[in-house]
Structure 1
Amino acid sequence: MPKNQNPSLKDPEMYEALRDDGASAQKAARISNAAAKEGRSTIGRRGGKSKDYEDWTVSQLKDKAKEIGLKGYSRQRKNELIQSLRNS
């Protein structure tokens, strides 16, 4: 295991690929660990049930930010909220 490798990562290769694609460290770890536990094809079938964030109202975006525990979202504009939610 490389010196900087986090031992809690179950699929370091997928984690690095997600990070290279721009995912946050937390999001990449969450996805790669879920894929290692349940299988990549199972994880790939998830999602797609919600409208795009661009279709949400600012109020809905702020509610989602609060729900997932983001900080500093109350003064963000819609585009900033969307970026924060996607990178969380």
Structure 2
Amino acid sequence: MATKDYGPSIKDDEQYQALRREGASKEKAARIANAPRHRTGVRGGHAPPYEQWTKKELYQRAAELDISGRSTLDKRGLIRALRDH
């Protein structure tokens, strides 16, 4: 199957397309496909897991990412929304 050209905004069209097929959002697929190759396999920073965050901290992070419906979510819902983002 031919890889579609997504233009200059997507650096790795093949990786982007594979991520979209796996169910990643357009935003997440683009973020990963545009990351430098040497960083895509590297685990994230040194922040503690979301389960150790307070609800207020989770809410503030959700607000930074503009996650809709965050005001109605409990702690578990905020964690799920952040991970799915």
| Common topology (TM > 0.5) | yes
**Equivalent residue number for residue 6 of structure 1:** 6
Structure 1: runs of 5 or more not aligned: none
Structure 2: runs of 5 or more not aligned: none
What are the within-5 Å matches in structure 2 for residues 27-46 of structure 1?
27-34=28-35, 38=36, 40-45=37-42
Offset at residue 46 of structure 1 (A): 5.2
Identity %: 45
Aligned residues: 82
Q: Scaled by the length of structure 2, what TM-score is found? A: 0.74
Q: Scaled by the length of structure 1, what TM-score is found? A: 0.72
CA RMSD, aligned part only? 2.1
